[in-house]
């Protein structure tokens, strides 16, 4: 199929069906609607594909087989690849692929193949793996396949009839906890957390007996790290312990307690019962240490999701509820940056992309290899959820176009953590006579953030043009374009006469002087010319890679500030002596007096 807005083709999917059926099927890529097909904890890893039948009276012999190419970075046992089918009314269901690979010649390609019984919109997602089991009346002890350390023990007659259960496990990395602690001082007592456990109790039967739950909540990682750092001194410390044990048995028992669980740590259970009640701290639930970082507790009611928090000292329940909300928000978000770079050889071509902050260095390196560079520098990092949109519009004296024709549009980037949203645009000035006091045309790229809730649920997605007055900009990036010298076509009979030939000779002399100073790596401030700091910055921006050109431009800016009657040679010689270049001052005086400019 053809990519939207581009004259390029790519494989959208592979369909196996009777030939008469294939002739009636229409397939297209509709990535503009990707915000509508993802939920929290889901990651899009393929194009969004629409498959329709052009003949509504045609009966399709279901099931038929489709295979969709995808790219994915698997994240351990907690995630799996699923195909999501969404109909015109945005009702979705999930299909488990029968295969994830396909041989193409001598190499394998990733294709999610499924059997479908309806047409609609298809997407390949990386989802949290779902554990499904049924609890009989006789009870059940269930260890989860995603993490065997997590177990649910249902005692006999916990439910009056068989109760189906669905569980998902969302691991919480220690780096995420450290980030929250660094951002908010009130979370400083938090040492570690368990995974966030999602439970779907479809029968909604009440608990007749409590359920025993065991899951890992690691001890203080700082203490564990200190233990690892002293591993190489065990032989010496063992000798010391034997001596200490003989005289101070209490010291030995305290040392052993430090190497295991710290009994002074506080464990708290935070649970979410339903949307109306929200998160709650269960102070009445007793959490016990088991072994090797495992903890156990009993529940006598259903919770939609819960997490265990390990604290160095007791924290107020208000802060614990804020912690639960912050954890949930952080798990659904990714810190990202916007990059806007210009082509080094052609500043009228720009690239705009969204990058996860952890991949920023690699993305910048890739752009440099493609010939792109700043300024401007990437924006500050900000949180984005899967499927949220960044809208871009240009202001000031610069506009952009995707096709080289329409230069006043709004552009959209849709964030997906495992895909690389990217725009390649052409920019130009609006008013060629604007910014007359600057050697550059100046403009601004303004970015707005749209959450999934702000996006209209319809399959025909258009970018709004005038609906941003109510939104505050997420960030802004300054943009410049160099002014180009105009070529004036004069009549053949017309002859251009230079009124002052000495000006051209003086420019030649300045060019020689700039070359001499550049050979000695003379910095711009070292020349001691009476110019503003903004002039130095402008010169560096105009000629970033050539010191001789920078010095020459600085001379030109300086002499524009002089009155016509000023003796330029005498003044410049004085500044050269002041900067410690008396040799060039004398050479300049000699060349100007004797008209030596070669």
- CATH classification at residue 315: 2.60.220.30
Q: Work out whether strand 398-401 and strand 422-429 pair parallel, antiparallel, or are unpaired.
A: antiparallel
In tens digits, the chain (598 residues) has pLDDT values of: 545 445 567 788 889 989 888 888 999 999 999 999 999 889 999 999 999 988 776 788 889 999 999 987 766 789 999 999 999 888 999 999 998 888 776 778 889 999 999 999 999 999 999 999 999 999 999 999 999 999 999 999 999 999 999 999 999 999 999 999 999 999 999 999 999 999 998 888 899 999 999 999 988 655 544 444 444 334 334 433 443 343 333 333 333 344 445 557 899 999 998 888 899 999 999 999 988 889 999 999 999 999 999 999 889 999 999 999 999 999 999 999 999 999 999 999 999 999 999 999 999 999 999 999 988 899 999 999 999 999 999 999 999 998 877 777 889 999 999 988 899 999 999 988 888 888 899 999 999 999 998 888 888 877 666 566 667 899 999 999 988 766 656 555 444 444 455 677 777 888 888 888 888 777 777 677 888 878 887 888 777 778 888 888 888 888 888 887 788 888 888 888 888 888 888 888 887 777 765 5
> How many whole angstroms separate alpha carbon 82 and alpha carbon 94?
6
Which of 128, 159, 181 represents a domain boundary (last residue)?
128
Enclosing domain of residue 162? 130-219+261-331
104 and 142 fall within a common domain: no
pLDDT at 118: 92
Whether 437 and 552 map to the same domain: the answer is no
- The residue among 433, 427, 434 whose CA lies nearest residue 481 is 427
Residues 157 and 49 placed together within one structural domain of the fold: no
Distance CA 331, CA 311 (A): 20
* Residue 320: inside a domain: yes
Indicate if 400 and 452 belong to the same structural domain.
Answer: yes
pLDDT of residue 486: 64
CATH code for position 476: 2.60.40.2660
Same domain, 76 and 141: no
Q: Kindly report the number of other CB atoms within 10 A of residue 319's CB atom.
A: 16
- Closest to 428 measured CA to CA, from 412, 408, 448: 408
Read off the pTM.
0.73
Residues 446 and 535 in one domain: no
Q: What is the pLDDT of residue 284?
A: 93
114 and 138 within one domain? no
Residues 409 and 509 in one domain: no
Dihedral angle sign, alpha carbons of residues 590, 591, 596, 598: positive
Residues 20 and 123 in one domain: yes
Q: Say what the pLDDT of residue 362 is.
A: 93
How far is 114 from 123, CA to CA, in rounded Å?
11
Q: Omega of the bond prior to 376 within 30 degrees of 0, cis? A: yes
Q: Which two structure tokens, joined as six digits, stand for 427?
A: 């920019």
The strand pairing partners of 251, in sequence order, are none
Burial group, residue 191, by CB count within 10 angstroms (0-12, 13-18, 19+): buried
Q: Which of 98, 128, 158 is the last residue of a domain?
A: 128
CB 196 within 8 Å of CB 305: yes
In the three-class reduction of DSSP (H, G, I as helix; E, B as strand; rest coil), residue 193 is classed as strand
Residue where a domain terminates, one of 128, 149, 171: 128
Residue 482 CB partners (closer than 8 Å, separation 6+): 347, 439, 440, 441, 542
Burial (CB < 10 A; 0-12, 13-18, 19+), residue 52, is middle
Contact assessment for residue 547 and residue 518, using Cβ atoms and an 8 Å cutoff: yes
What is the tally of structural domains in the chain? 4
306 in the same domain as 409: no
The answer to the question of residue 238 being in a domain is no
Q: Do 183 and 215 fall into the same domain?
A: yes
Residue 568: inside a domain: yes
Q: What is the pLDDT of residue 232?
A: 39
């Amino acid at each position: 199929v053809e990519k939207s807005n581009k004259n390029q083709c790519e494989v959208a999917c592979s369909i196996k069906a009777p030939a008469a059926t294939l002739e009636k099927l229409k397939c297209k890529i509709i990535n503009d609607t990707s915000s509508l097909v993802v939920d929290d904890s889901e990651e899009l890893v393929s194009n969004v594909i629409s498959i329709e039948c052009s003949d509504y009276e045609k009966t399709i012999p279901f099931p038929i087989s489709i295979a969709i190419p995808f790219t994915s970075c698997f994240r351990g046992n907690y995630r799996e690849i699923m195909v999501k089918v969404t109909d015109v009314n945005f009702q979705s269901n999930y299909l488990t692929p029968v295969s994830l690979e396909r041989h193409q010649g001598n190499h394998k390609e990733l294709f999610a193949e499924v059997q479908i019984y309806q047409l609609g919109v298809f997407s390949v997602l990386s989802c949290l793996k779902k554990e499904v089991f049924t609890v009989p009346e006789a009870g059940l002890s269930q260890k989860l396949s995603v993490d065997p350390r997590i177990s649910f023990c249902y005692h006999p007659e916990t439910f009056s009839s068989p109760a189906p259960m669905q569980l998902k496990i969302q691991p919480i990395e220690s780096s995420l906890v450290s980030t929250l602690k660094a951002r908010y001082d009130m979370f400083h007592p938090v040492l570690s957390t368990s995974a966030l456990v999602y439970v779907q109790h479809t029968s909604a039967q009440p608990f007749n007996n409590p359920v025993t739950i065991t899951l890992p909540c690691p001890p203080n990682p700082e203490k564990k790290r200190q233990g690892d750092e002293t591993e190489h001194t065990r032989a010496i410390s063992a000798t010391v312990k034997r001596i200490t044990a003989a005289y101070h048995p209490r010291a030995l028992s305290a040392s052993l307690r430090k190497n295991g669980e710290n009994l002074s740590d506080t464990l708290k259970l935070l649970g979410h019962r339903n949307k109306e009640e929200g998160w709650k701290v269960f102070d009445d639930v007793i959490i016990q240490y088991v072994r090797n970082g495992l903890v156990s507790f009993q529940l006598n009611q259903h919770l939609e999701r819960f997490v265990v928090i390990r604290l160095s000292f007791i924290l107020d329940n208000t802060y614990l509820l804020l912690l639960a909300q912050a954890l949930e928000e952080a798990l659904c978000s990714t810190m990202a940056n916007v990059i806007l770079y210009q082509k080094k050889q052609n500043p009228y071509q720009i690239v705009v992309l969204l990058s996860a902050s952890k991949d920023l260095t690699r993305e910048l390196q890739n752009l440099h290899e493609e010939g792109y560079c700043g300024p401007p520098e990437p924006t500050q990092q900000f949180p984005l959820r899967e499927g949220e949109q960044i809208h871009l519009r240009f202001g000031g004296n610069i506009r952009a176009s995707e096709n080289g024709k329409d230069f006043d549009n709004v552009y959209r980037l849709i964030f997906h953590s495992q895909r690389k949203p990217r725009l390649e645009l052409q920019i130009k000035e609006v008013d060629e006579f604007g910014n007359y006091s600057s050697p550059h045309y100046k403009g601004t790229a303004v970015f707005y953030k749209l959450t999934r809730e702000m996006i209209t649920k319809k399959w025909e997605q258009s970018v709004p043009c005038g609906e941003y007055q109510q939104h505050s900009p997420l960030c802004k990036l300054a943009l410049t374009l160099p002014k180009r010298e105009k070529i004036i076509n004069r009549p053949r009979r017309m002859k251009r006469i230079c009124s002052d030939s000495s000006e051209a000779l003086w420019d030649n002399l300045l060019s020689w002087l700039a070359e001499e100073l550049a050979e000695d790596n003379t910095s711009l401030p070292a020349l001691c010319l009476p110019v503003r700091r903004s002039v130095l910055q402008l010169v560096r921006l105009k000629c970033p890679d050539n010191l001789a050109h920078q010095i020459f431009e600085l001379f030109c800016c300086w002499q524009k500030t002089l009155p016509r009657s000023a003796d330029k040679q005498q003044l410049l010689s004085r500044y050269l002596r002041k900067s410690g270049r008396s040799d060039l001052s004398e050479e300049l005086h000699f060349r100007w007096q004797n008209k030596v400019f070669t």
